[in-house]
């Protein structure tokens, strides 16, 4: 394939192929030997040697050697169900039962398994054959770095205890995200919230498998990557982009908080972007409160985004997610998390004491921030959680609902990025016959379709026709 790309500054524009090129790729995928392609990928990029994006320096969670905290499961108690010996389709209740069985089973039991086992929720998208859903045969896993232009950085997203890959069902070609969690680190909470609560701003869970002492969680994939990846590749976001992302996150939080669920880890890497929406991911630290205040036995979250009340461990509510969103907005504005510019990590390995004494980090708000946005951030970062606005109140805030003449038209992040770069686009000479069909505007949108160049890589061959931006570096800017 001929390769053409557009590079501007430190980032790359979001592109897609036209219908003719999509047809050619589909024909190639239909007749090529995909297993040979995977063998080549694995030989070129061995996973065992891949450097992982590690947030452990900032993440707070129980030590592996300590007994796990016993939490109430969302699964209602009842008769003990038999452990599945194969992969089968089921309902949410079946998936929750499976998750609890895996989480509570004795150490070493999984070494006796002769084949993969698990529960799939998407019968039309994930095709299990005779009780099997084999990794590498029925579903392909692609290291995330292969969908980026800059392959040399050896990037694979990583959560608290898991790596994330791109997955594609070989028969239906359904594209998914697949999180791999070692069995010793898996807990039922990793799937409960996503399985039980369905909302457009929460990544949908498709199923869970157990094989080779690893739990595979299949879920909705974000073609645009996370907010953190955008920040690392493109720098600070403009205010109208921040408004779009913040409204998406608040919609998800409003839904969760109305059901007494605390996410506990709102941060840029846990906000995943799609062409027309943003979704929350990584619910491993989430809890559903049974009382007005949740009193944890350990710290939950990533410390640099933590609220002061979480650090005290004397009890907190859903308002802690609002504070974390406020710190995330600062990160989106400036390209760096709060505190780190004034207190470099090289000199301050922990920020718990700083947050306890000096929160909120109002000095880190961008100096070019509009008065309305500054007011919203200050409301979200209110130190007293009783005075802090809730998600529903923030959604009605004037900063998130500016008059049309004050903000560019942004029906999606795609169109927002177009508005950001349209001046630079005029300076480029592009072929007249190449257009981009990735915009998803409404009828009121007057944003014209963009003229683009074509870029095809291994990610496109895997079925990803929308090219995402380059990967982040291991450290914040």
Give the residue numbers annotated as catalytic, written as ranges: 265
Placement of tokens 């009382």 in the chain: 291
The residue ranges of DSSP E strands in 124-183, in sequence order, are 139-143, 163-169, 175-182
Q: Mark residue 272 as left, alpha or beta (left: phi above 0; alpha: psi -120 to 50; beta: remaining).
A: beta
The residue ranges of DSSP E strands in 392-441, in sequence order, are none
Cα–Cα distance list, 8 to 14, 421, 423 (Å): 11, 9, 12
Best CA proximity match to 205, nearest among 97, 96, 110? 96
Max Cα distance, the chain (Å): 68
Asked if residue 294 lies in contact with residue 287, where contact means CB atoms within 8 angstroms, the answer is yes
Asked if residue 266 lies in contact with residue 227, where contact means CB atoms within 8 angstroms, the answer is no
Backbone angles phi, psi at 137, to 5 degrees: -115, -60
For residues 3 and 39, give the distance between their C-alpha atoms in angstroms, rounded to a whole number.
Answer: 23
| 3-class DSSP state of 86 | coil
For residues 113 and 109, give the distance between their C-alpha atoms in angstroms, rounded to a whole number.
Answer: 8
User: Within a 13 Å sphere around the CA of 298, how many CA atoms are in the beta-carbon half?
Assistant: 18
Spatial neighbors of 258 by CB under 8 A, at least 6 apart, are none
Cα–Cα distance list, 71 to 129, 260, 297, 301, 344 (Å): 35, 15, 11, 16, 36
Asked if residue 2 lies in contact with residue 225, where contact means CB atoms within 8 angstroms, the answer is no
Spatial neighbors of 441 by CB under 8 A, at least 6 apart, are 411, 412, 415, 447
* CB atoms closer than 10 angstroms to residue 198: 11
For residues 243 and 221, give the distance between their C-alpha atoms in angstroms, rounded to a whole number.
Answer: 22
- DSSP annotation of 419 reads H
Q: Mark residue 143 as left, alpha or beta (left: phi above 0; alpha: psi -120 to 50; beta: remaining).
A: beta
């Amino acid at each position: 394939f001929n390769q053409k790309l557009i590079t501007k500054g430190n980032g790359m524009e979001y592109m897609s192929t036209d219908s003719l090129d999509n047809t050619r790729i589909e024909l190639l995928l239909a007749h090529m030997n995909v297993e040979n392609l995977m063998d080549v990928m694995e030989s070129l990029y061995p996973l065992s040697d891949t450097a992982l994006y590690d947030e452990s320096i900032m993440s707070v969670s129980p030590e592996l050697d300590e007994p796990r905290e016993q939490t109430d499961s969302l699964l209602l108690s009842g008769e003990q169900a038999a452990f599945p010996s194969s992969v089968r389709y089921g309902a949410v209740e079946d998936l929750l039962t499976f998750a609890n069985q895996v989480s509570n089973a004795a150490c070493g039991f999984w070494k006796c398994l002769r084949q993969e086992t698990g529960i799939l929720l998407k019968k039309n998208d994930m095709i299990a054959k005779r009780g099997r859903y084999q990794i590498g045969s029925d579903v392909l896993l692609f290291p995330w770095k292969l969908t980026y232009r800059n392959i040399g950085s050896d990037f694979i997203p990583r959560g608290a205890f898991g790596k994330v890959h791109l997955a594609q069902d070989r028969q239906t070609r359904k594209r998914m995200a697949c999180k791999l969690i070692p069995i010793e680190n898996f807990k039922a909470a990793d799937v409960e919230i996503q399985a039980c609560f369905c909302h457009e701003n929460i990544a949908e869970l498709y199923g869970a498998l157990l094989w080779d002492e690893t739990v595979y969680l299949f879920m909705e994939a974000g073609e645009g990557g996370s907010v953190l990846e955008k920040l690392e590749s493109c720098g600070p976001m403009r205010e109208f982009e921040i408004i779009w992302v913040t409204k998406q996150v608040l919609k998800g939080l409003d839904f969760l908080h109305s059901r007494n669920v605390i996410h506990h880890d709102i941060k840029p890497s846990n906000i995943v972007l799609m062409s027309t929406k943003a979704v929350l991911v990584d619910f491993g630290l989430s809890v559903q409160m049974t009382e007005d205040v949740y009193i944890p036995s350990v710290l939950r979250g990533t410390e640099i985004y933590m609220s002061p009340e979480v650090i005290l461990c004397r009890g907190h509510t859903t308002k802690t997610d609002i504070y974390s969103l406020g710190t995330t907005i600062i990160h989106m504005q400036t390209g760096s998390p709060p505190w780190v510019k004034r207190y470099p990590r090289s000199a301050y390995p922990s920020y718990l004491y700083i947050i306890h004494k000096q929160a909120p980090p109002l000095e880190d708000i961008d100096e070019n921030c509009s008065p309305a946005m500054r007011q919203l951030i200050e409301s979200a970062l209110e130190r007293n959680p009783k005075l802090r606005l809730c998600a529903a109140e923030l959604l009605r805030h004037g900063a998130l609902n500016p008059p049309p003449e004050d903000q560019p038209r942004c029906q999606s992040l795609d169109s927002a990025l177009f508005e950001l770069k349209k001046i630079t686009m005029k300076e480029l000479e592009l072929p007249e016959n190449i257009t981009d069909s990735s915009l998803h505007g409404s009828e009121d949108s007057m944003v014209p379709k963009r003229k683009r160049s074509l870029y095809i890589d291994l990610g496109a061959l895997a079925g990803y026709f929308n090219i995402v931006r380059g990967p982040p570096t291991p450290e914040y800017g």
